[in-house]
Structure 1
């Protein structure tokens, strides 16, 4: 089924809405800064930017309780930020500095913060599904009361671990939400050429769980769908599959020339479906936010990100003696 706004979105306070907008802007500015630093040769390797997908991370994680946990993906900066991670330490990790979340050894695709319930980003497509299912099993067996969100892309829905995890989670009624960020393209090909159904959420029925497709550019719709799924999971009714239709404004990675899609299509999404612009306008129309306040938030975030960059760039390099530390648990 397709999702729609519910009356529950009226329960979100004006302060919460402004906070959600600010988080989305932080993610956008962070990704822009990371891209800039990469082009300057300060960041090596590769990275997968979530520019354009800010509403999925902020809306979904905003519906969680502090004790709840997430598993992330190779395109996971937004999930980290929405869960409360320090962007200075995130940038330090991308710069391979000692103060990074993995002491500079993990890079963009492996940031984790167990204290915040972020069980880690993952460079393996669908690698987070078994981790999230296992964490949900722990929650149920030990009666810990937390819910787990497993973020993944549309391409991951064709991996074996996706199907195995959904089946097991459904059989055991585990408190896990499988959250698909369907950005239309699995690396370099359209998802419509890789599946023979209209919505990935339709696969939920095969495993006896609810499946819903929502507008991933509408942060409040994302929030409501996730809140409903979390309440269901927390009450012992088992997992939900959420498919949020979204779009990445950039390529799959920094090496991607995006030859598989048109510039006209990109322009349509960027100019008419930008989740930040849409949410900002709705808050201004509601009278929750003024143009001046919105600009002030932009300025504050810009300063916040610049400060994080300063922290990261001035952090020490890992010592050669630490090379073999943390290799084994």
Structure 2
């Protein structure tokens, strides 16, 4: 399926926004102004955007501790995200969520999650709700090669099949569960999708460093799920450029591994080459996107630095919903 010029620019903008957001956070965290753990998504941009470009306001996603990319791909406000990570009162969650629990329910981003594998049951619940409201929405659980070993994920996949929930399990296999390699920690090694298949759902596999491969596979998968065929899963082979968390020395990496990944498996470079070689966009179009995005990130950081923190008196507000 050929994307229009505007669609291509939007996809590139979202991928570049994720990359620049994470690169800037990597620098800003060194200042000590940002509290709490932060897990960066840089390198996996094509996975999040390739999935979310198909979604609308009726669709829900549930993220992981590495959630900034999913937020941006689903359409979260970048300035609101930055303020949230800085712990400001006008952040997306009023400064109470920080990086690992950031959410925007109004656009179907149900939240990042600090517990590995905890998002899958939530996504099934969202999918069942979408099935009941009859608007054609889906629930999507983003998770990684670590979460594929969790019992919560197994139970969620089984429940989704039993209820024929329109749920999609997106496994971003970036080859490391925290500090442990997938070849050691996962019995099916580099074929996580087969685990979902064993529960009775159809599965797809794609190169998660290739936006177009991810986008095309996700289109087929969504047609299947929206058609009333129950849940499905996709495994995206991708890479993360940063450590498990900011401050991770990454001694589990091989010599020169990150440099090789940045040279050979950079989804932004691959996207630029494909669209310019095919004459779909020219370099000037992409350069403009990068300049505009850099200005947006600069503004987001500048505003977050001076924004007001939450009022201590509001510490118990919004903790529980009153029915």
Under a length normalisation based on structure 2, what TM-score does the superposition of the two structures give? Answer: 0.96
The residue aligned with 2:204 is 212
Deviations 1:256-293 (A, max 9, x none): 11111113222221111100111011111111222222
RMSD (CA atoms): 1.2
The residue aligned with 1:106 is 97
Deviation at 1:162, TM superposition (A): 0.6
Deviation at 1:22, TM superposition (A): 1.1
- Is contact 1:215-1:222 (8 Å) kept? yes
The residue aligned with 1:224 is 216
Q: 2:160 is matched with which residue: 160, 169, 177?
A: 169
Q: 1:26 is matched with which residue: 17, 21, 24?
A: 17
**2:228 paired with 1:236:** yes
The residue aligned with 1:63 is 54
- Is contact 2:138-2:167 (8 Å) kept? yes
Alignment of 1:205-284 (within 5 A): 205-284=197-276
- Is contact 2:50-2:211 (8 Å) kept? yes
Deviations 1:210-263 (A, max 9, x none): 122210001111111112111111111011110000010010001211111113
Cα distance in 2, alignment partners of residues 110 and 101 from structure 1: 10
- Is contact 1:93-1:99 (8 Å) kept? yes
**2:292 paired with 1:309:** no
Cα distance in 2, alignment partners of residues 97 and 151 from structure 1: 26
Closer, same or farther: CA 103–243 of 1 in aligned 2, 3 Å: same
Alignment of 1:86-235 (within 5 A): 86-197=77-188, 198-235=190-227
Under a length normalisation based on structure 1, what TM-score does the superposition of the two structures give? Answer: 0.95
Structure 2 spans left out of the alignment, 5+ residues: none
- Residues matched between the structures, number: 320
- Is contact 1:63-1:224 (8 Å) kept? no
Q: Which moved more, 1:304-313 or 1:184-193?
A: 304-313
Deviation at 1:311, TM superposition (A): 2.0
- Is contact 2:37-2:100 (8 Å) kept? no
Deviation at 1:67, TM superposition (A): 1.8
Cα distance in 1, alignment partners of residues 132 and 16 from structure 2: 38
Cα distance in 2, alignment partners of residues 289 and 229 from structure 1: 27
Cα distance in 2, alignment partners of residues 107 and 84 from structure 1: 18
- Is contact 2:138-2:166 (8 Å) kept? yes
Structure 1 spans left out of the alignment, 5+ residues: 1-7
- Is contact 2:9-2:286 (8 Å) kept? no
Cα distance in 1, alignment partners of residues 280 and 6 from structure 2: 8
The residue aligned with 2:8 is 17
Q: Secondary structure at the residue paired with 1:263?
A: coil
Q: Which moved more, 1:132-141 or 1:259-268?
A: 259-268
Deviation at 1:192, TM superposition (A): 0.9
Cα distance in 2, alignment partners of residues 58 and 326 from structure 1: 30
